[in-house]
Chains A and B, each alone.
Chain A
Amino acid sequence: MNLKQEVGGLIGADRVSDDPEVIAALAGDMSFVPSRSPDLLAKPKGAKDIQGIVAWANQANVPLVPVSSGAPHSRGDTVPSVGGVVVDLSGMNEILRINRKNRVAVIETGVTFSQLIPELKKEGLRLNLPLAPRANKSVLASGLEREPVIIPRHHWDAADPLLCLEVVFGTGEVFQTGEASGPGGLQGQWQIGGAQKFPLGPHQVDYHKLIQGAQGTIGIATWASIKCELYPVIDKLYFLSDTRLERLIEVAYRLIRLDLGDEVFLLNNFTLASLLAPNREGIDKLVRTLPPWILVFTVCGYNRHPEEKVDYQEKDLFEITQKEGLTPGQSLGEVKAEVLLRVIRNASPEPYWKLRYGGENYELFFITTLNRVESFIPALREMAVQENYPASQIGIYIQPVVQGTSCHLGFDFPCPQGDAREKARIRGLIEKASLAFQKQGAFFSRPYGSWAQMVYSQNTEFVNAMKRVKGVFDPKNILNPGKLCF
């Protein structure tokens, strides 16, 4: 019996494929991770199917690579290292519950941003979103990847907005984490007023934190509860721009400190243009009209006296910006606030905004603190010049996270589609900068691709501890082998 027959026997012949075209599409992504083909694609329908596949894989010693978002993938975590079966969860896409009262949604793994955002809005809710995510990106996967989100004051912990999960561990056992643990299942817990809001536990282990950031190496999630926020009644977006970052960072610190504003993030002109313009020409044109640095923040009013809430926030905010000698505005040249507001409240229209300039894009990102951001940027630009990469085409995105205790600093490098030479040049630049920045204190908390080796080679004790965890939850290294330190 071959793989196809064996897995097909478990979940149904119509849910597996070894069609060469299908397999080829799964063999690589838009990263520097070398392409490698899986042997089979499997599309389970639910936890029982996944359990069956994991049990079989343990017995047959076949690697499993979980995937939940639609293409294009860009970080190498879904590219098989040693073949095996790609477990595609995109078909498990039911929104199981939206609960306005407790501000929470429970969703299956394949639910995408473009699917969930409008459904939440109908209930007066919204997600604390990543910056204009891909429309076909799995909401649950985004949470698992700890993607930065744009409302820092609602980001209480690095795990947010992901709360509780159901997961099939590498051993094949099913487990529910946090408040979702315990008798009754989802339905039973809803009946007694539960809402899967408290993520810790059960008892003395925070299982969700072990699954998060694991790139599918610890368990395969089947559903999760996602923390939601109220949808504003009044919504105003402001720009604050400057030629230097320093004053904008000071303002960002004050806004976050005082819980003023909802969305708060900083961009360079290239990233703002990429978010707004439809193509390369449009981006080139728009960039020229924009100041080098832009702080974006929103002021929102909710159900109770929204005008008054917006009014006091605006007045308090303007006092802060005035102290820095800056004036917020609702337009920036030809860019209108309401246009950007629509962009950041939704999934990205196609083509995905990071791909509009070159067709391909490569990323460099890490965690640092806002007051150190400026130490990285000139160094990167200098390295770009040395590598003959146009510094003006580097997108920069600074996102305060965990209520401003740290920030995500991301650089985007557009690349002409299919240009292998340019890709190699960008790769060299990113690898060089990554090494330099790590020495400078940058924390590569989400170590995709070659960052894993770079980061883990410096932290033996962490690797030893992680291997102990792996030994508990996936002792046969069935799940996504070759990633992280496994």
Chain B
Amino acid sequence: MALAPHIYKMFANIVGSVNISDDPAILETYTFTWLNEFNNLCAPGKFLPHHPEAVLLPGSTEEVQAIVRACNRYGIKFKALSTGYGSHSLPGQPGVVVLDLRRMDRILEIDEKNKFAVVEPYVTWAQLEAEVIKRGLFTTPVQAGSQASVLANLTSGWGMNTFGNHGGHNGRNALGIEWVLPTGDLLKLGPPGEWFTGDGPGPSLRGVMRGHCGAQGGMGVFTKGAIKLHHWPGPPKLETEPGGMMTAYLLKEIPEFLEIVAPCFDTYEQMIDFFYQVGDAELAYAMMRVGGAEHMFSLMGAISNKEMYEQFYSTGLVQAMAEEMKHPCTVMIFANSRREFEYRKKVMSEIVKETGGKILEVMTEGPMKDIMMKQMPVALFGNCTLFIHHAGGFVISSGYMGTNESVVRHMGIPQEEIKGKWAKSGKILDDGADSTYYNSFENNAYVYMEMEFHYDASNPESVNASRQCLSDERNQRRLEKSGFEPNDIGLTCGDYEKSPQQRIMDMGPHYGNFHLWQERIKRAFDPNDVSDRSWYGAGLLTKDVKIK
């Protein structure tokens, strides 16, 4: 169903005729994204079933407001999109206009003294990082990659990031926010005209902004936002030179007081102990367990999947390394002075020894030494993400936020077993490791863990096997726990045999009926139900749920 001509004209009047389109070829591109083939919303295939009615490119908050008000008047649904990442960033139902925010791409302010930056929705992590590093500050780029929107991560997506141990979780890094509510009203969180806080007066309306998973387009449009920054101990510019494989460039000079330490542990227990000890000692700028040997190699050593396979898998190197590096961790020490650097290195070395960590010689000598020190920092600072696409498709297991013990016990260990079973079947990629991403936040106050599955996106059998793999995990957990774990990111990502709405309906009763609370909030803030609710709360199904 196309928009009525007068409605199209009205939108064109708001954004200008060059900033609106209902060309089918253009609209089709707004149905294509990572993970589509995985969701049964659209399977089989790479395209979501619902084309938007039109795509609008607003250039200002005022234009966003005008569009949203018009949507309310005419009962048209809308979904805002910035950089997009996954099916949840695109329309999940018919009759939706997309607000593509790519024209709103300015860094509005960098307050060096008070350590925050104010950005529009299409400012990416790479863009912000390049500017703040000149001023001795750094960001917390989302795991999705430096091509992703800063503001989306603060408000609309999850908020995990590689530098969380020192920089915190992005769900907690938001300060002032400008927000066009689903009604079209403009709400500013924090003091009018100021960005240094977003909490109050009185209760913090950041409470209805994002939660754990982000609003995912269901609560209006976020048009400006301030993010807390943190100190960058390095030089104002990182000089690079051609080289390396995956990143295609290397650090020319290793910043003073920077060191990457990569201990491996035989058991999860040892690794957990290590995380706690390093957290207590506040040593790490970044601290994570990045998969197994295959992750290490793909992160640092391969420019393409083919090359990756030929160099590392077919030679048996990955498999051999996986045996040696059962639980490989990566810790970045980045200090402000020689004295601090020496102290941190000394304590780190002590902790590695005490907790049974092994620093493999291969990692500290020869070519790997250069890779670790010159390419790994580039990969981490630049937040490269190509390494996760070995087989064309990948998906994560339900991820957990929580303590080290709880995430390992209820995700790491069972998931490893299940993945192994499906990898042996040959239907998903046997990548020789568990491909775990495990990241510490706020000096190990809590951690995030997810496990990756690589599948052949062009092969329905492989896609389906990945779904089955995740469902196995769900079923096992249900049997073990008669329910679900707190803060399972999989509230929207897991159990792909069901629709997102069915998943939420399943899980809500185990989590204090949060889905019903969200439905009440949705109705209060979006009385005309125009902000695409497909990925918010219980989505479409709960429309008819009786709320007492």
Q: Give A contacts to B, CB under 8 Å.
A: 101-103, 146, 156-159, 174-176, 178-184, 189, 192-195, 197-215, 218, 227, 230, 253, 257-259, 302-305, 308-309, 311-313, 315-316, 367-371, 402-406, 441, 443-447, 451-452, 455-456, 458-459, 461-462, 464-466, 468-469, 471-472, 484-485
Contacts and interface: CB of A to CB of B under 8 A. Distances in A.
A224 to B, nearest CB: 15
Contacts of A183: 481-484, 486, 510
B506 interface: no
B343 A312 contact: yes
B228 A198 contact: no
B27 to A, nearest CB: 27
A200 B211 contact: yes
B470 to A, nearest CB: 19
B192 A459 contact: yes
A223 to B, nearest CB: 15
A182 B172 contact: no
A189 B486 CA distance: 8
Contact of B203 (A102, A315, A466): A466
16 contacts: A101-B276, A146-B199, A181-B512, A183-B481, A193-B409, A200-B212, A204-B214, A205-B521, A207-B207, A209-B206, A210-B208, A213-B199, A308-B343, A402-B175, A462-B187, A462-B205
Given A194-B403, A258-B336, A405-B116, A214 B211 contact: no
B228 A402 contact: yes
Contact of A312 (B228, B340, B403, B521): B340
B403 A195 contact: yes
B188 A402 contact: no
A462 B404 CA distance: 39
B168 A156 contact: yes
B114 A406 contact: yes
Contacts of A402: 175, 197, 228
- Which of A159, A197, A456, A458 has the most chain B CB within a 10 Å cutoff? A197
Nearest to B514: A202
A445 B212 CA distance: 24
Given A182-B510, A461-B185, 7 more contacts: A157-B173, A182-B486, A205-B521, A210-B204, A258-B336, A304-B281, A458-B192
B337 A178 contact: no
Contacts of A211: 203
B139 interface: no
Given A182-B510, A316-B339, A458-B192, A203 B213 contact: yes
A54 to B, nearest CB: 15
A194 B486 contact: yes
Nearest to A441: B194
Contact of A156 (B115, B192, B442, B484): B442
B498 interface: no
Contacts of B351: 304
Contacts of A206: 171, 204, 206-212
A116 to B, nearest CB: 19
B487 A178 contact: yes
A405 B228 CA distance: 7
A405 B114 contact: yes
A99 B191 CA distance: 37
B213 A204 contact: yes
Contact of B487 (A198, A445, A451, A484): A198
Interface in B198-237: 199-216, 218-219, 228, 230-231
Given A257-B115, A405-B116, A406-B114, A179 B200 contact: no
Contacts of A302: 280-281
A448 to B, nearest CB: 10
B103 interface: no
Interface string B173-192: 10100000100011110111
Contacts of A181: 486-487, 511-512, 514
A54 B266 CA distance: 53
Given A179-B401, A404-B114, A452 B202 contact: yes
Contacts of A311: 339
B409 A214 contact: no
Contacts, number: 307
B518 interface: yes
Nearest to A459: B192
Given A198-B401, A215-B202, A406-B114, A468 B525 contact: yes
A126 B348 CA distance: 24
A112 B402 CA distance: 27
Nearest to B166: A259
B89 to A, nearest CB: 15
B194 to A, nearest CB: 6
B204 A213 contact: yes
B515 to A, nearest CB: 8
A305 B346 contact: yes
Contacts of A466: 202-203, 205
Given A202-B491, A204-B518, A179 B175 contact: no
A371 B113 CA distance: 8
B181 A465 contact: yes
Interface string B262-304: 0000000000000010001110000000000000000000000
Nearest to A461: B187
Contacts of B425: none
- Which of B171, B336, B402, B518 has the most chain A CB within a 10 Å cutoff? B402
Contacts of A204: 210-216, 218-219, 518, 536-537
A256 B482 CA distance: 46
Contacts of A178: 212, 486-487
A205 B517 contact: yes
Interface in B481-529: 481-487, 491-492, 504, 510-512, 514-515, 517-518, 520-521, 524-525
Nearest to A180: B486
Q: Which 5 A-B pairs have the closest CB atoms?
A: A193-B405, A201-B212, A445-B200, A209-B207, A182-B486
A203 B194 contact: no
B530 to A, nearest CB: 16
Contacts of B409: 192-193
A371 B196 CA distance: 12
A461 B186 contact: yes
Contacts of B202: 213-215, 445-447, 452, 466, 484-485
B410 interface: yes
Contacts of A189: 406, 486
A262 to B, nearest CB: 11
Contacts of A443: 190-191, 194, 196-197, 200-201
A126 B346 CA distance: 26
B336 A213 contact: no
A178 B512 CA distance: 11
Nearest to B186: A461
Given A156-B172, A369-B114, A203 B491 contact: yes
A184 B187 CA distance: 38
Contact of A209 (B204, B484, B514): B204
Contacts of B208: 205-206, 210, 465, 469
Contacts of B192: 458-459
A213 B517 contact: no
A201 B200 contact: no
Nearest to A471: B524
Contact of B113 (A201, A230, A253, A308): A253
A371 B213 CA distance: 35
A404 B115 contact: yes
B446 interface: yes
B350 interface: yes
B175 A201 contact: no
B391 interface: no
